[in-house]
Amino acid sequence: MAYKILLDDEKFHFNEGDLPCLVHYKEKQGGSQFTVTLVADLFLQGSKILFLTAYPYAKDNFFEQTKGMETKIFYAENKETLTEAQNYQAIILKSGDENLYLEALKILPDLSERVILIKNFEIFDQNILDSSIKLEKIIFSGDIDKSPAKKQICNRNYKTIITFSESEMPLPFRTPALDKYVGYLKTAKNEGFVKLELTP
């Protein structure tokens, strides 16, 4: 199934100029699905992607939303495959493999050109956050309040923040009351309610 993103009920596309980005959500609020759709949307617009997630579901979801583009996506399971992986538009790393991600940061010659997603950042060790926090094309997605690096995450300046629930940590704005599966987006240019809609 493929989705489109709506901002205040109008079709909306993200672009690399909207990064770095923070997506905050609790379980079963729609933030996980939204994050994968956001990255799939960037990929379909031509962005290069490096994808690290804690759980395999997000990888499967990404493949579902990019059907027909499989030849441009590489699933890397170990360090030895990273040299081949660099020839692909999207690199999906083995779920939860922190060491493979750190190797990718060292090895990939086009790292600065890639949008990097760290999904479920609250699951990963501090060294993953330390090595990623200053990257410009980064998307941090997960639950701030469960992260041991919550202060570090919140102190980063973001061009885009999307919340699906209020965080215990101070953010640049208060999250308004939200319906289920609806988030609130704030950028320098746009502000409003975001949600997904199935593409016919």
* 174-189 pLDDT per residue, tens: 999 999 999 999 998 9
Q: Which amino acid is at 197?
A: E
Q: Where are the domains of the chain?
A: 3-198
Amino acid 24: pLDDT: 97
Report pLDDT for 188. Answer: 86
pLDDT tens figures, 146-157: 998 999 999 999
Whether the CB-CB separation of 123 and 54 falls below 8 Å is answered with yes
CATH of domain 3-198: 3.40.50.300
Q: What is the pTM of this model?
A: 0.95
Which residues of the chain register pLDDT less than 50? none
pLDDT for 40 equals: 97
Q: What angle do CA 171, 172, 177 make, to 5 degrees?
A: 75
